[in-house]
Structures are given as C-alpha cells and as structure tokens.
Amino acid sequence: GAVVSQHPSWVICKSGTSVKIECRSLDFQATTMFWYRQFPKQSLMLMATSNEGSKATYEQGVEKDKFLINHASLTLSTLTVTSAHPEDSSFYICSASRSAGGVSPDTQYFGPGTRLTVL
C-alpha cells in the first residue's frame, strides 16, 4: 500500500494559461499533502503544505495567488498554476503523509511527478 498518483504526467501549455495538477492517495487517507518543485539536477523544494479542509501553508517566496492549492478531501489535493509563464516550467511532485503509528514519524509517499512546460 501507500500509492500516490498524479495527473497529468506531463503538460505543455501556452504562456498566460492556467494548468491544474491533481494528486491522489489511492489506498490511504492523507490529512496532509505537500507540493514540491524540482529543477534539473536539483533537489526537491517544498512549495506548500496542504491540509484537508483548510488553507494551504506556503513556503517563503512562493506566490499563493499564482500557485493555488485545494485539498477538498482526504485523498485529493490539486495545484493550479495560474497565468503560467516559461519560468514556471518545472517538475512538480506531490506527496501524501501516512501515519506510521505509535511514536514513529509519519512517512511522505510521493507521486510520480508532473512535467510542466510553458511555451
């Protein structure tokens, strides 16, 4: 168990359009989901933490009006990149947090990622 899916796996769009990326936990419920972006040959940078039923918490430097996050259920979070520009082109990865039980820390399971290219 602990499978996380993302859709779409890749998307190409024109500058100025909006793109929505879905993240689903398929076999567990996730109170908390996370959104990361990753540039080539770099590590993952956390963009925001998403809690079901409440507003997302954004990391410093991430524009909340540009990257809209909705976590409407315990298995689905969405990231919408509004008015996308070429500099938004990146690999976006979500994760869902699953309880390990007891004193063990919760584990984040990652989706396969979405490659966004803005022309």
Partner 1 sequence: EDQVTQSPEALRLQEGESSSLNCSYTVSGLRGLFWYRQDPGKGPEFLFTLYSAGEEKEKERLKATLTKKESFLHITAPKPEDSATYLCAVQEDFGNEKLTFGTGTRLTIIP
Residue ranges in contact with partner 1 by CB under 8 A: 2, 4, 6, 32, 34, 42-44, 46, 49, 91, 93, 95, 97, 100, 103-113, 115
Nearer to partner 1, 16 or 26 (CB): 26
Nearer to partner 1, 4 or 84 (CB): 4
CA–CA separation, 71 and 29 (whole Å): 12
Give the DSSP H or E segment for 91.
strand 90-98
116 Cβ contact list (under 8 Å, min separation 6): 10, 11, 13, 19, 21, 81, 84, 88, 89, 90, 91, 92
Min. distance of Cβ 86 from partner 1 in angstroms? 20
Nearer to partner 1, 44 or 74 (CB): 44
Nearer to partner 1, 38 or 82 (CB): 38
Are the CB atoms for 112 and 5 separated by under 8 Å? Answer: yes
Min. distance of Cβ 93 from partner 1 in angstroms? 5
